[in-house]
Amino acid sequence: MEEEKKKNKDRTVETPDGYYSNRPKLGNHSPSRLRRELGKCMTYLVVVVAGIAFYFALLRLTDISGVFAKAIDVLKPFLYGALIAFLLNPIVKQVDAILIPVLEKRTRNRDKAERLSRTAGIVLAIVIMIAIITGLFNMLIPELYQSIRSLVFTLPKQVNGLVEQLNEIVKDDSNIGVMLRTFIEEATETFENWLKSNFFQQANDIMTILTTGVIDFVGEIFNALIGVIVSIYMLYSKEMFGKQSKKITYAVFHARHANIILHVTQKANEIFGGFLIGKIIDSAIIGLLCFLGLTLLNMPYTLLVSVIVGVTNVIPFFGPYIGAIPSAVLILLVDPIMGVYFLIFILILQQLDGNFIGPKILGSSTGLSSFWVIFAILLGGGMFGFIGMLLGVPTFAVIYYIIQMVINSRLHKKNLPEASEFYDEFSFVDDGGKYMISRETLERKQRQAEEEKEGEDPPENDNI
């Protein structure tokens, strides 16, 4: 026992910032020639086997995707639980940071203090979550009911008024009136044909879809409730899960590869945590500001529109515009001038969010430029819908970071600069592998150094 303690003491190191916070070194090893040759043979074998497996997987793609879909459907409570635990974890961590030192002084027992603090943190996090959900439902449901009820009763009258205005325009013998009359006649004929040929024939299918939708919604609510219970166990045992995952990683992979995996995992946690939690806070602020602004402007459907704008704002970049379109249509049916004012207000609100509120809350949590944010949203949304639009940005940010880490490591081994600003039109690397800096780049670096000395922020650089 004493010998084991001595060994553990010899292995003890100081890691105040965490060992995996720093970027690991890639490729610093030199295996023997025999091992390299065997590695090549194994690589060829793995490529051939992987190609054959990929071919047969394509032949059974439908069956494989069905198995994955079934597994995801069964594991939904655990997925919901992981998401809830991820969102509540900052509250639990903050409670631990405050309570553990206090309880440790009182109980003189570190383990007992951690258990009491963890229990208090989980209870507080669950209470806060329930309070927020209950408060939102108490505020939103009555107002949403009134807004939707008013919309149902007034929408036919508003549509009739719009039709009457169009009829007045159609009576005009001008070219615009003739074109509009032709368009209305063709649209009416197309709509009537659709009602006769498709709608009434598919009424049973539509009712089946609605019934299935209601059942699926109730099932998702049930899965979410189970997820809350799962999240409690996850939060209570998160350190143990982390230790087990690290142990398995070191057992399966080489130490150097395991350190890279753990480093990327920690970085992914930082990116996803900073983005998702920051985006939820940002969307809540935008929804509140929208409610206050629409109330001051005395616009209709104030709460309904604010909820739509706040929820869609979770989607980066395109979210406010996605929410503004149906909201503008609702207000436009009541008062066209109000609809124009609303579009102007949303444009101002989006500029406020994009230039001030968003950067203050999100900061540089993803490390992506605007171009890559748009690329990630379009790619994720096109492949996975709403979830893809929401999670596409942090997922792409993790992939971007991995590529950046690999490229910078290879440049470092070649003694080449890592920042993209060094590779301008006039800078180059000669045949001997030596970097030759241009006069323009050198002068720019000198100006940036002088600005940093004066306390000014240097311009942002893209390292890839």
364-407 pLDDT tens trace: 667 777 788 888 888 888 888 778 888 888 888 889 889 988 89
pLDDT beyond 80 at 86? yes
Query: What's the rounded Cα separation, in Å, for the pair 343 and 50?
Result: 54
- Residue 455: the pLDDT is 60
Among 2-11, 33-42, 362-371, the least confident range: 2-11
- Residue 409: the pLDDT is 87
Non-local (6+) Cβ contacts of 81 within 8 A are: 226, 227, 228, 229, 230, 231, 233, 234
pLDDT beyond 60 at 4? no
Among 21-30, 61-70, 278-287, the least confident range: 21-30
Query: Mean pLDDT, the chain, as a whole number?
Result: 78
pLDDT beyond 60 at 348? yes
Q: How confident is the model at residue 229 (pLDDT cuts 50, 70, 90)?
A: very high
Chain-centroid distance, C-alpha 381: 11
- Residue 449: the pLDDT is 75
pLDDT beyond 70 at 245? yes
Q: How confident is the model at residue 334 (pLDDT cuts 50, 70, 90)?
A: confident
Q: How confident is the model at residue 315 (pLDDT cuts 50, 70, 90)?
A: confident
Query: CA dist 416 to 24, 123, 400, 435, 459, Å?
Result: 18, 52, 20, 6, 21
Comparison of pLDDT for 392 and 22, the residue scoring more:
392
**377: phi then psi, degrees, rounded to nearest 5:** -65, -45
- Residue 60: the pLDDT is 76
Q: How confident is the model at residue 17 (pLDDT cuts 50, 70, 90)?
A: low
- Residue 250: the pLDDT is 92
Q: How confident is the model at residue 251 (pLDDT cuts 50, 70, 90)?
A: very high
Among 196-205, 222-231, 274-283, the least confident range: 196-205
For residues 11-29, average pLDDT: 59
For residues 32-48, average pLDDT: 74
- Residue 244: the pLDDT is 92
Percentage of residues in the chain with pLDDT exceeding 70?
A: 74
Query: What's the rounded Cα separation, in Å, for the pair 339 and 266?
Result: 46
- Residue 248: the pLDDT is 93
For residues 41-55, average pLDDT: 81
For residues 167-179, average pLDDT: 60
Among 99-113, 160-174, 363-377, the least confident range: 160-174
Among 5-14, 18-27, 64-73, the least confident range: 5-14
pLDDT beyond 80 at 140? no
Query: What's the rounded Cα separation, in Å, for the pair 53 and 59?
Result: 10
Hey, is 299 helix, strand or coil?
A: coil
Q: How confident is the model at residue 124 (pLDDT cuts 50, 70, 90)?
A: very high
Comparison of pLDDT for 95 and 41, the residue scoring more:
95
pLDDT beyond 80 at 280? yes
Among 71-75, 77-81, 148-152, 239-243, the least confident range: 148-152
pLDDT beyond 70 at 320? yes
Query: CA dist 396 to 39, 311, 322, 400, 430, Å?
Result: 31, 22, 22, 6, 33
Q: How confident is the model at residue 201 (pLDDT cuts 50, 70, 90)?
A: low
For residues 179-201, average pLDDT: 64
- Residue 158: the pLDDT is 61
pLDDT beyond 60 at 354? yes
pLDDT beyond 70 at 159? no
Q: How confident is the model at residue 308 (pLDDT cuts 50, 70, 90)?
A: confident
CA nearest neighbour of 87 among 285, 224, 248, 288? 224
pLDDT beyond 90 at 247? yes
Comparison of pLDDT for 1 and 439, the residue scoring more:
439
For residues 7-34, average pLDDT: 59
Query: CA dist 96 to 30, 87, 341, 389, 419, Å?
Result: 45, 16, 48, 34, 39
